[in-house]
Copies of this chain bind each other. A is one copy, B any other.
Amino acid sequence: MCGIAAYYCRKNRDATQNVMLMLYAQQHRGQESCGIAAANGHKIRIHKAMGYVKEAFPQTILEELSSNAAIGHVRYPTRGEAAIENTQPYVIETLSGPIYAVASNGDIVNYEEIADELRVKGVHFASRNDGELLGRFIVYHHERKDMSIVDAIHLLMRRIKGAYSAVFLTHNTLYAFRDRGGFRPMLVGNIGEDIAVASESCALDILRPDSMREVAPGEVVVVTPHQVVYQHELDTKLLPENAKPVQPHHCIFELIYFARPDSYQFNEYVYEVRHKIGSRLASYDDDIGDVVVPVPDSANFIAMGYAMAKKIPFHLGLIRNHYVGRTFIRPDQYTRDESVRQKFNPLKDFFSNKRVILVDDSIVRGTTIRKLVRMVKGAGAREVHLRIGSPPVKHSCYYGIDTPNPNELIANNMEIEQIREYIGADSLKYLRIEDLRECVKTADNFCYACFNGNYPFPKLSTSSAIKKELPEEETS
């Protein structure tokens, strides 16, 4: 995952300050590190740090970085590579000075292919950062091939496969663009004469925008000192004659789990989708429970949807500790479920003799939910009926969500009844994929690959394989 933000001031407002506020509102999209690159019309300065936005950007730093235009990034902790080198935004320096910065949310499928192409043309890579690849692709074609930046971005969209909602900054111009499939969300808002861009609407809300909308897949938003241009790839001269628009494939997991419930994403109110999911789950059951308890906070709205549909009480029976901080304790040496116990605690005497409908958004490995079911039973529950707000997760995501290898996914290794038994629940039901599709308005515009394995385009490890793949994709 990850989150991005950008702000372009027309007058005297502070772009850096506003980007910081938007990153803060999107902190749930990444807590490992954060950064802001700020342009003042002449050059770009950058500040990046491990940890939370509010700690990384005290007022002194915000003032040093005050700017007309800025872009920012929060990074999600992924496999063992927590280091300042992997943080974004990424700044690209040329003889003209440090005048390009880029930040991206997503995952590039043909990274190696594109990087190799650029390497043979003499482009140097200092990291394995998606942002750097996008940035150097654009700068190479702009500076060495005399392409306009917009054209370079549209070429990028046709060449670079995968998910990227990205912002690109020069000393005085801001570009925001999204891959042709629109995997990851990105919105643009107007605040007076200013322009703001963010991964989620909750970030724009904090600035109380006059209006906002999604950046369309394949669209480039260009903000210069004088105008704002919205340029879709279909309008450009780069497109071959027979080009057809790509079917969007938005990430359905954003709506189920990742986005903040108060966000509006892919033209859906996130909390409403979750309510509907809860409602659908409720339709599978007769009156089997006394109380609906979510695994907080991610399943709160699914559980409320279930409770309202069934007219049985919703209750926060498990208390979650929010003060996690940046570092993590090693698995405790003497009890297996210690870390779950550190994060969740049941209300005392609350569960006694109750039939509990426990709701979670999804099951990945199954280890945490197993401990929670045990915890709820240990707290006295007579029955625990587990309801999951998504279909079984059987496939890895190649488009920006950090799912484990398929062989670690419990639904890949066990039948549902076996999972139920392993977890220790009295019953277990998953949302059916056809019901999930019913919960959104335009079901065909979403990617369900983690459930059904239908990848919009695959992650291939050899360049030859990718090359064979390319023509088909190119004409899709």
Binding site for B on A (CB under 8 A): 13, 17, 21, 24-25, 27-28, 31, 43, 51-55, 58-59, 92-99, 122-126, 136, 139-140, 143-144, 201-202, 205-206, 208, 260-262, 264, 269, 271-272, 300-301, 304, 308, 313-316, 319, 321-330, 332, 334-335, 341-342, 345-350
Q: Are B24 and A321 in contact (CB under 8 A)?
A: yes
Q: Which of B21, B140, B324 contacts A95 (CB 8 A)?
A: B140
Q: Which of B262, B300, B319, B330 contacts A262 (CB 8 A)?
A: B319
Copies of this chain present in the complex amount to 4
Q: Are A330 and B59 in contact (CB under 8 A)?
A: yes
Q: Which residue of B lies closest to A171 (CB)?
A: B124
A181–B351 alpha-carbon span in the complex (Å):
33
Report chain B residues within 8 Å CB of A123.
95-97
Q: Which of B201, B205, B323, B341 contacts A27 (CB 8 A)?
A: B323
* A-B pairs with beta carbons under 8 Å apart, 19 shown: A21-B342, A25-B345, A27-B321, A53-B323, A54-B324, A54-B326, A55-B327, A95-B124, A97-B126, A98-B126, A202-B345, A208-B341, A261-B319, A262-B345, A262-B346, A262-B348, A269-B347, A271-B347, A304-B316
Q: Are B321 and A25 in contact (CB under 8 A)?
A: yes
Give the 10 A-B CB pairs with smallest separation, nearest first: A97-B124, A54-B325, A27-B323, A93-B93, A52-B325, A322-B322, A262-B319, A55-B325, A262-B345, A96-B124
Q: Which residue of B lies closest to A308 (CB)?
A: B313
A11–B476 alpha-carbon span in the complex (Å):
54
Smallest CB separation, A447 vs chain B (Å) = 24
Report chain B residues within 8 Å CB of A304.
313-316
Q: Are A269 and B202 in contact (CB under 8 A)?
A: no
Smallest CB separation, A269 vs chain B (Å) = 6
A300, A315, A325: most-surrounded residue (chain B CB, <10 A): A325
Q: Which residue of B lies closest to A264 (CB)?
A: B348
Q: Which residue of B lies closest to A324 (CB)?
A: B54
Report chain B residues within 8 Å CB of A316.
261, 300-301, 304
A330–B28 alpha-carbon span in the complex (Å):
22
Smallest CB separation, A177 vs chain B (Å) = 20
Report chain B residues within 8 Å CB of A24.
321, 323, 342
Q: Are A206 and B94 in contact (CB under 8 A)?
A: no
Report chain B residues within 8 Å CB of A348.
201, 262, 264, 269
A325–B104 alpha-carbon span in the complex (Å):
24
Smallest CB separation, A95 vs chain B (Å) = 5
Q: A262-B345, A323-B52, A329-B59 are in contact. Are A124 and B315 (CB under 8 A)?
A: no
Q: A93-B94, A126-B97 are in contact. Are A347 and B262 (CB under 8 A)?
A: yes
Q: Which of B31, B314, B341 contacts A323 (CB 8 A)?
A: B31
14 new A-B pairs (CB below 8 Å) besides A95-B122, A208-B335? A27-B323, A52-B323, A54-B326, A95-B123, A95-B140, A96-B122, A96-B124, A97-B123, A206-B341, A206-B342, A261-B319, A262-B345, A264-B348, A304-B316
